[in-house]
């Protein structure tokens, strides 16, 4: 079972990587690699479910000004809420949109997405992930 301490560096990424994306081996079960510069993750909660073989993760993601989030996917659904700041959010199959404080977004299972142009202020996003247990939380796309 993944502990809070072991998961602290993982959390999830509603936008969880940078141009030097390193989350290939990050999984909902295991020790994550260090977070890239300009990108921090803080686990808020985690629990098994909603069905066997899945885990639900809630995380706060902070993206420093000028940081690019590399194109990536998740093995489940991501639902995000922008607490502060904003970021350009290209999701494959959808028009690119600018999400700002107060906006919510969802990314379908295994759909490539990224983030860019977050301006000159820090962006804070809270995301909920319902992902397959034991699979990498995020993989480069």
Task: Please give the full DSSP string across 72-140, using - where no structure is assigned.
Answer: EE-SEEEEEEEEESEEEE-BTTS--EEEETT-EEEE-TT--EEEB--TTS-EEEEEEEEEETTSBS-EE
Mean pLDDT of the 10-30 span: 37
Mean per-residue pLDDT, 30-57: 82
CA distance linking residue 18 with residue 85, whole number of Å:
17
CA atoms of 101 and 6, how far apart (whole Å):
30
Beta bridge partners of 63: 39, 123
Name the residue with higher pLDDT: 69 or 112.
Answer: 112
17: confidence class by pLDDT, cuts 50, 70, 90: very low
Closest CA to 46 of 138, 136, 130: 130
Owning domain of residue 15: 4-140
Please, what is the average pLDDT of the chain?
79
Residue 36 pLDDT grade (very low, low, confident, very high; cuts 50, 70, 90): low
Q: How many domains does the chain have?
A: 1
* Residues 69 and 117: beta-carbon distance below 8 Å: no
The CATH number that applies at residue 67 is 2.60.120.10
Q: Is the pLDDT of residue 25 over 50?
A: no
């Amino acid at each position: 079972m993944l502990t809070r301490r072991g998961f602290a560096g993982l959390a999830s990424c509603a936008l969880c990587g940078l141009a030097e994306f390193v989350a290939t081996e990050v999984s909902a079960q295991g020790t994550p690699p260090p977070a890239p510069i300009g990108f921090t993750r803080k686990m808020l909660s985690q629990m098994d479910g909603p069905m066997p073989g899945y885990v639900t993760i809630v995380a706060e993601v902070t993206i420093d000004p000028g940081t690019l989030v590399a194109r990536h996917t998740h093995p489940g659904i991501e639902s995000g809420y922008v607490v502060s700041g904003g970021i350009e959010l290209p999701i494959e199959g959808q028009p690119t949109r600018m999400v700002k404080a107060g906006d919510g977004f969802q990314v379908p299972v295994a759909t490539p997405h990224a983030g860019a142009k977050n301006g000159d202020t820090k962006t804070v996003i809270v995301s909920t992930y319902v992902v397959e247990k034991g699979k990498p939380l995020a993989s480069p796309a």
